[in-house]
A and B are shown apart, each in its own frame.
Chain A
Amino acid sequence: MSTTAPPASPGTAPGPPADERLLRTSLARRLMGRPELGSVVGAVAVFVFFSFAADSFLRPSSLDTVLYAASTLGVMAVPVALLMIGGEFDLSAGVLVTTSALVSSMFSYQMTANVWVGVGVSLLVTLAVGCFNGFLLTRTGLPSFIITLGTFLMLTGLNLGLTKLVSGTVSTKSIADMEGFASARAVFAETPVLGTTVKSTVLWWLLLVALATWILLRTRFGNWVFAVGGGAGAARAVGVPVRRTKTLLYTGVAFAAWVSGQHLLFSFEVVQSGEGVGNELTYIIAAVIGGCLITGGYGSAIGSAVGALIFGMTSKGIVFAEWNPDWFTFFLGAMLLLATLLNTWVRRRAEATR
């Protein structure tokens, strides 16, 4: 620290700071400071690897499949990454997707209403679960791991129990012939674009990544997300509404779970009530591969998208290479370890001059 300030230009601050202590701000060095860096390098490596290992990998139809796989995960990875930057987990996210689909399907079927009514009710129920998670967390001060583990187990039981109670089986009845199905399908499953159809999750994914990036980097709320994850005490002391921020982050996860749930329903017409268990960890893996610190305060939405892309490329690439898909989890685990090691190293460098 220089104790005597040079009298130089206090007003012209944003200009290029010609400071002799700043050795180089080369592009490479700036990229080093980005949370996504590790995941982008990893994604390129995975892409090149499967381009050589699987002949069919580069075909448009194959890339389509990869993109679809990535998008279904990516839609959820975005808000889970935001939540993780805010310093919390949501283990209930995976089964909440199923809950959302079940509520929508069963409400429409039982009430013989337009499917959009079920979609609306489902949104309310799903957001309520998110609020419940956030409310419990901020009021009790218990770790989110415990709270959401509780809601995860409760939802798993509710999904199976209520579905059996209402439909008599573990899956819902098809709602394909019901009013409004075609339009809901266009929004959540197959969106018509320029004469062809695109998987809706891809569009939702792009939208959510763009929106989340904007929120994180350019809004007050985004600043608060980093702050509540990186130092909740300091954030509260300067007047950041910590509880509201965390609760809103849980609501964000719930919203994405609603989108994913409706996608399941309108793609497959029926919902299996036991689905979704285990997916919550996949979302977290995508976020961590994408550069989110597990301890909070650092990460990006784009990173989570790259994490999801790696996941999609690996899971489908193994199939295209005609390997036994059993190897997939091994690759995923190795990727997770590598990404975490790289992230830790980058962060140490960022804090090295302390």
Chain B
Amino acid sequence: MTTPLVELDGVSKYYGNIRALEGVSLTVGAGEITCVLGDNGAGKSTLIKIIAGLHRHDAGSLRIEGEETVLGNPREALDRGIATVYQDLAVVPLMPVWRNFFLGSEPVRGKGPFRRLDVGLMRATTRSELLRMGIDLRDVDQPIGTLSGGERQCVAIARAVYFGARVLVLDEPTAALGVKQSGVVLKYVAAARDAGLGVVLITHNPHHASLVGDRFVLLKRGAMAAAHTRGAVTLDELTRQMAGGSELEDLAHELERPPAPPPAGPDRAEGA
């Protein structure tokens, strides 16, 4: 294949004396979906914050289209074609859909003091772009907070695609959604892939990952636990590794039916 759009090689990140991420490598090519799997505290958020430009990495290298880079802020990442859709930070709930759609990249017309938002274009584009993604909006003037969680994710994805993103980073897009809504969101993820975008999909749901993923990276406690490509791994295997393999078996023992007086479970501090 050609040069990957984004390539991480042995990337590490420390917060003071806390090791949030250590030696993580992954690749995303055009028209591919790379899934990053991990439990809470595995370092998934840290990883996307590095790709999105919110944090600088402390070690290892980040290459964008083959060129080694350190991203200083989200704007820089956007300019390099990397758009990130956050689970909870995707939109501003009280603002109308069309204002959200263009937030940060508003089109203007007119000159000098008469430079103003091109409201007509913004409304029309929002409506047609969402329709193109299959979202038939009731009213682009409604506050985006009135949309369902799945719809909000889809608006955010449609926005990224419209603004020419080449890499889409999705932070747990299906985490808070029901089965049907999750399916809808995954459909748009696949649509973005088919449009030639590279997608980094962060999730803790191996079922969703195995449905669309081309590559799988498993994180555990800040380090890489495994890396697979599609076809080389089964859903069961992925689920088992994801759930912690032997840890899950231990848990099964602990939860067995006639319980002895419950032993004090090891409280595991969450990293990062």
Interface window among B18-26, B139-147, B232-240, B259-267: B139-147
A-binding residues in B (CB < 8 A): 52, 54, 74-75, 78, 84, 86, 88-95, 99, 102-106, 108, 115-117, 119-120, 123-128, 131-132, 134-136, 138-139, 141, 143, 145-148, 150-151, 154, 181, 184, 187
Contact A350:B143 (CB < 8 A) given known A219-B117, A237-B74, A237-B89: yes
Contact with B along A212-224 (1 / 0, CB 8 A): 0010001110111
Complex-state Cα separation, A233 to B131, whole angstroms: 27
* Other-chain residue from A5, A214, A350, A354 in contact with B131 (beta carbon distance below 8 A): A5
Complex-state Cα separation, A225 to B25, whole angstroms: 38
* Other-chain residue from B75, B119, B184 in contact with A239 (beta carbon distance below 8 A): B75
Q: Which residue of B lies closest to A13 (CB)?
A: B127
Complex-state Cα separation, A238 to B148, whole angstroms: 21
Interface window among A15-23, A42-50, A164-172, A300-308: A15-23
Query: Chain A's nearest CB lies how many Å from the CB of B187?
Result: 8
Q: A234-B103, A352-B146 are in contact. List 9 more A-B contacts (CB 8 A).
A: A3-B184, A5-B132, A219-B115, A220-B108, A224-B103, A226-B99, A227-B95, A350-B145, A351-B145
Complex-state Cα separation, A343 to B119, whole angstroms: 26
State whether B123 touches A234 (Cβ < 8 A).
Answer: no
State whether A239 touches B148 (Cβ < 8 A).
Answer: no
State whether B138 touches A22 (Cβ < 8 A).
Answer: yes
* Other-chain residue from B74, B94, B125, B151 in contact with A236 (beta carbon distance below 8 A): B74
State whether A297 touches B92 (Cβ < 8 A).
Answer: yes
State whether B74 touches A218 (Cβ < 8 A).
Answer: no
Contact A226:B123 (CB < 8 A) given known A10-B131, A239-B105, A240-B103: no
B-binding residues in A (CB < 8 A): 1-6, 10-11, 13-14, 17, 19, 21-22, 25, 33, 214, 218-220, 222-224, 226-227, 230-231, 233-240, 293, 297-298, 347, 350-354
15 contacts between A and B (CB under 8 A): A4-B134, A5-B135, A11-B128, A21-B138, A220-B106, A223-B117, A227-B99, A234-B90, A236-B74, A237-B54, A237-B84, A239-B104, A297-B92, A297-B94, A351-B94
Residues on B with beta carbons closer than 8 Å to the beta carbon of A231: 89, 91-93
> At the interface, is chain A mostly helix, strand, loop or mixed?
loop
Contact A14:B143 (CB < 8 A) given known A3-B134, A219-B115, A239-B105: no
Which of A238, A293, A351 has the most B CB atoms < 10 Å from its CB? A238
Contact A226:B134 (CB < 8 A) given known A219-B117, A350-B146, A353-B146: no
Query: Chain A's nearest CB lies how many Å from the CB of B154?
Result: 8
Query: Chain A's nearest CB lies how many Å from the CB of B160?
Result: 9
State whether A5 touches B105 (Cβ < 8 A).
Answer: no
Query: Closest 3 CB pairs between A and B?
Result: A13-B127, A238-B104, A231-B92
Complex-state Cα separation, A13 to B115, whole angstroms: 24
State whether B92 touches A230 (Cβ < 8 A).
Answer: yes
State whether A226 touches B92 (Cβ < 8 A).
Answer: yes
Query: Chain B's nearest CB lies how many Å from the CB of A288?
Result: 16
* Other-chain residue from B54, B124, B143, B145 in contact with A13 (beta carbon distance below 8 A): B124
Residues on B with beta carbons closer than 8 Å to the beta carbon of A25: 139
Residues on B with beta carbons closer than 8 Å to the beta carbon of A234: 86, 89-92, 103
State whether B117 touches A354 (Cβ < 8 A).
Answer: no
State whether B93 touches A238 (Cβ < 8 A).
Answer: no
Complex-state Cα separation, A175 to B88, whole angstroms: 57
Query: Chain B's nearest CB lies how many Å from the CB of A85?
Result: 10
Residues on B with beta carbons closer than 8 Å to the beta carbon of A219: 108, 115-117
Residues on A with beta carbons closer than 8 Å to the beta carbon of B131: 5, 10, 13
Complex-state Cα separation, A351 to B115, whole angstroms: 32
Query: Chain B's nearest CB lies how many Å from the CB of A82?
Result: 15
Query: Chain A's nearest CB lies how many Å from the CB of B183?
Result: 8
Complex-state Cα separation, A214 to B115, whole angstroms: 11
Query: Chain B's nearest CB lies how many Å from the CB of A277?
Result: 33
State whether B132 touches A10 (Cβ < 8 A).
Answer: yes
Complex-state Cα separation, A167 to B120, whole angstroms: 58
Q: Which residue of A lies closest to B121 (CB)?
A: A14
